[in-house]
Structure 1
Amino acid sequence: MPMGEGTIVWSSLGGTWITAPHVVELGADKIALFTVGTDHIIRVRWRIDGEWGGWTVIPGEVIQVPHAVAGTGDCLDMFAVDPKYSIQHRQWRAGEWTEWQSMTGEAGGPTLTAPRAVWSTPTRLDIFVLGTNLGIWHKYREDSGWSDEWSSLGSLWLTPPHVLSRGPGRIDAVAINSQSGLSHARYQDGEWSHWQTDDAISISRPFAVESDDRLHVFVLGENRGVYHYTWDKEWTEPTPLRGTVISPPRAVAWPDGGIDVFVVGQNSAMFRRAYRGGVWHEWQPIGGRAFSPPSIIARDRTVELFVLGADSAIWHTEVSVD
């Protein structure tokens, strides 16, 4: 893999993997990196105080990379889909993994992708999944008890939702509907709003961040270009960011209102584009050869990127932003 542009250096974390990586930050000095081997079994690698440990096995076959979120303290909730297309849940607590627990109830039939999870309050974890009937389904855990049933958020969706919480008891969900339109729904005061849809054609799963109390959403259009939307009670006209890319975009929002977007270009190299003071700067090359969208953690104006490389290993770099 090329070392990138300028002082940006990519390093290999080794292995031979069949899925994109998924990274979760438990605190300033601890992260967990997940991927899946050729045996369809999850591996995790921990970095504690800047030092990487070895890859360890989490037993049980899966069909996709798991999705994990950090809770309070040294705790993780991880969700995966087994070869029978059932949703499985496991926790990291007090330095140990619990056993796999099957998520009971009907979630629109068998499931192909792991649920996406978000903490909507300090004690409530909400999860969302796209079933094979193309319905989006929702379930939540309050303290230690899961809700009895999955609730439907509509049918005939092309992508799983991307979700985030912008305050206690508030959730924003964005997804692509069956007409390829970018749609948004909001959970507040115990109720879901109706979906609001933009008419433009979108062809990738959207990615959303919050900045300046607005929702900023990034998605690929028909021409495989990146488009930037904002949602503040209604959709704005999309801003084309030009260029042609081969991966769905990922983004990071900063407290000062800045945003950085990361994509894989046609040459398989990573690129970054910065949004500062309401103005988009030009694309900047980061180099490397990525065969997956990046998994990202960000802190102190530094972004860490993890991707699946051309050699099926996981590669990593750090990018400082202004």
Structure 2
Amino acid sequence: MATLDIHDLTASLTEAKARWSPRITPQSLLGDEGKKALLGVIFSPADVALREAGPQAAAPPPAGAFSPEVDWRNKNGNHVTPVEDQKYCGSCVSFACTGVVESMASIELGQLFDLSEADSHFNSNHGPSCAGWNSDACMAQLQARGQVTDAALTYMSAFDNPPVIDPATSLWKPYVRPTPNRPASQVTISRHGLIGDINARKTYLDTTGPCAASFDVYDDFYSYSTGVYHHVSGNAVGGHCVEVIGYSESEQCWIAKNSWGAGWGMAGFFKIAYGQCNFDVYAFSTAGGVTVPATHGWSGWESLGGIITSKPSAVSWGANRIDAVARGTDSAVWHRWWDGAAWNGWESLGGDCQSGPAICSWAAGRLDMFVVGTDHQLYHKWFDGGWSGWEALGGMLSSDPTAVSWGPNRIDVFARGMDSAMWHLWWDGSHWGGWESLGGVCDSAPAVASWGANRLDTFVKGTDSQLYHQYWAGAGWSGWEALGGYVGGDLSAVSWGANRIDMFYPGAGFAMMHRWWDGAWSGEENLGGLLSSGTGASSWASGRLDCFVEGTDSAMYHKWYA
């Protein structure tokens, strides 16, 4: 097709008494291939049938069925995100549908998101191609798999730098890019649908929110500047998809957001007359029931009472279950537990403890607890429908023990020996193994976490008050590595999932400090408090942490992350 001459187009519009004005735009200067590259609707069989049936006369709306004017940029605030640019790629469907989801997140939840069109178009079942799509299929994918934020996957990161042309499509060549930790930024819809009736579309736009609309594009549309567009001259180029953000009964038009950048149209927006370009014929696509990632943060401190004389230890054997233990003033172990609704206890579990207790679990309803007795041996008591008596496991220990399970019927216990080295005892389902020395010169009780079968990560305070780490990955123990920082007392460690460790300890000012591993070490984070003991920690779900300490009043205090 020949590029429309702006003077000829202006004359045609004047002759037709058109309600819109043209100008030279970056899009109007493109050649045939460039203009087609900005489109990307593959009409569904249902849309083809609607087009072949032709426009249907709308029934007169009932009085007051919908407002005379709607624009979601100014309807109890602005719920329309900024205009984007799809570049040399037929991804308009994903830009329109993404815009709708962003608007619905603002309307339903009061949150403005910048979501990833690249994740929608290239990482979904559409695949890594700039070829077209249809809005109903796109919305179905957004419901099935969600969509990450643009910060997690920017649009331009899907292409080479500079972009290259895909010989199969003559458009830019995109790629599937990884989006690690999708749940952290994934936004999902719980429903999507189609609206065909004209009055129903207006009612939906008035009462619920924006929609995605497809229409036929003619050559003169690329020169649109302002006003209410209707086709005057030029040939049909292809199908396009945009976000419909409102309508005007006085102007008899739809109001829409395009995806060709803010240099086109009215800063990227346009109006199109009712009945034009099959805009009223193809069904509008809707989305709703937006769900967003939980916002995580720390809560507490809360007092759980009691009078304790050791650092607490805690474990979870299932969702919304926590068991915490500490030594009391009578040198016995005392137990409190959270059952999902309330804290229960304190209950005395007896014993004559030289140390604070350690507790772990390898199955629902199973607890294994360890203390160092006045004879410096390790003692073991377990719950499996009821509490057992105490059994002696030997050793000559000089610190609180710590314990963890990395699988059914497996327990690993660590403590400092009389030689200040770290010593290890384990249960393999049939007998106790060890004790074995793991070396080091420990100035604290050890801490241990496990994030997978046959994986153990141990931590101690060194004589220089720095943090030290040693791990087992199934074949042998690593050496000790220094992690720096300042550790002011006994520490704790816990894992909520694969390749994740969270560690807590008193800092220089006896506040609780936090470090974590998620593929790299982060922290230190100061979580406040005024600690009179080391820390205990547990986790009952990914993204959930529960921490316990002794306060200056000797009560047990709880702080949690959710």
- TM-score between the two structures when normalised by the length of structure 1: 0.67
How many residue pairs match? The answer is 262
CA RMSD of superposed structures (Å): 3.6
Q: What is the 5 A alignment of 1:207-286?
A: 213=499, 245-247=509-511, 249-251=513-515, 263=526, 269-270=528-529
> Among residues 112, 120, 125, which one is paired with 2:411 in the alignment?
125
Q: Which residue of 2 aligns with 1:292?
A: 533
The one-character-per-residue Cα deviations of 1:168-227 (angstroms, maximum 9, x if unpaired) are: 2222333344565644333234422333446x675545665678847777778xxx6xxx
User: Which of 154, 166, 173 lines up with 2:458 in the alignment?
Assistant: 173
Q: Are 2:397 and 1:116 aligned?
A: no
Q: 1:259 Cα shift?
A: 7.0
Counterpart amino acid of 2:441?
L
Structure 1 distance, partners of 2:493, 2:328, is 29
Report the CA distance between 1:131 and its aligned residue. Answer: 0.8
> 1:305 & 1:177 partners in 2: Cα distance?
23
Matched, 1:313 2:555: yes
Query: Which structure: larger Rg?
Result: 2
Does the 8 Å CA contact 2:493/2:537 hold for their aligned counterparts?
no
- Whose helix fraction is larger, Structure 1's or Structure 2's? 2
Gaps of 5+ in 2: 1-297
Match of 2:375 among 84, 87, 92: 84
Is the contact between residue 314 and residue 538 of structure 2 (CA under 8 Å) also seen in structure 1?
yes
For the residue of structure 1 that corresponds to 2:324, the secondary structure is strand
CA distance in 2 between counterparts of 1:209 and 1:60 reads: 26
| Alpha-carbon displacement from aligned partner over 1:122-171 (angstroms, at most 9, x marks no partner) | 34322111112112111211113111x31111253323333222332222
Per-residue deviation at 1:93? 0.7
CA distance in 2, matches of 1:128, 1:111: 10
The match for 1:103 is 393
Aligned to 1:153: 438
Does residue 1:43 correspond to 2:334, yes or no? yes
Is the CA contact 2:501–2:517 (under 8 Å) kept in the aligned structure 1? Answer: no
Q: In the alignment, residue 166 of structure 1 is paired with which amino acid?
A: W
| 1:129 aligned partner, one-letter code | A
Letter in 2 for 1:315: Y
Q: 3-state SS of the aligned residue for 1:19? A: coil
**8 Å contact from structure 1 (residues 291, 309) kept in 2:** yes
**Whole-angstrom distance in 1 between the partners of 2:502 and 2:542:** 21
1:24 aligns with 2:315: yes
Aligned to 2:353: 62
Deviation at 1:30, TM superposition (A): 2.5
Q: Could you tell me how far 1:75 is from its partner in structure 2?
A: 0.3
Q: What TM-score do you get using the length of structure 2 for normalisation?
A: 0.41
Higher relative contact order (CA 8 A, sep 6+): 1
1:134 aligns with 2:420: yes
Does the Cα contact within 8 Å between 2:491 and 2:534 map onto a contact in 1? no
Identity of paired residues, percent? 26
| 2:513–2:526 Cα contact (<8 Å) kept | yes
2:503–2:516 CA contact under 8 A, matched in 1: no
Using the alignment, how far apart are the partners of 1:67 and 1:48 within structure 2?
20
Letter of the 2:314 counterpart? V
Q: Secondary structure at the match of 1:306?
A: strand
DSSP 3-state at the match of 1:55:
strand
Alpha-carbon distance between aligned partners in 2 of 1:170 and 1:300, rounded to the nearest angstrom: 18
Please report how far the alpha carbon of residue 23 of structure 1 lies from its aligned counterpart in structure 2 after TM superposition: 2.3
1:316 to partner: Cα distance: 3.3
Please say if residues 162 and 174 of structure 1, whose CA atoms lie closer than 8 Å, have aligned partners that are also in contact: yes
- Show the counterpart of 1:240: none
Instruction: Look up the SS of the partner of 2:307 in the other structure.
Output: coil
Q: Return the letter of the residue paired with 1:152.
A: S
Residue number among 195, 201, 209 corresponding to 2:480 in the alignment: 195
Give the direction of change, closer, same or farther, for the CA distance of 1:189–1:315 in structure 2 (3 Å limit). Answer: closer
Q: Take 1:11 and 1:201, find their aligned partners in 2: how far apart are those partners? A: 27
Question: What is the CA–CA distance in structure 2 between the aligned matches of 1:135 and 1:160, rounded to whole Å?
Answer: 10
2:405/2:450 contact within 8 Å kept: yes
SS of 1:16's partner is: coil
Tell me if the contact between 1:77 and 1:91 (Cα under 8 Å) persists in the aligned partners.
yes
2:513 is matched by which residue type in structure 1? P
Structure 1 gap ranges (5+) = 1-6, 225-243, 271-288
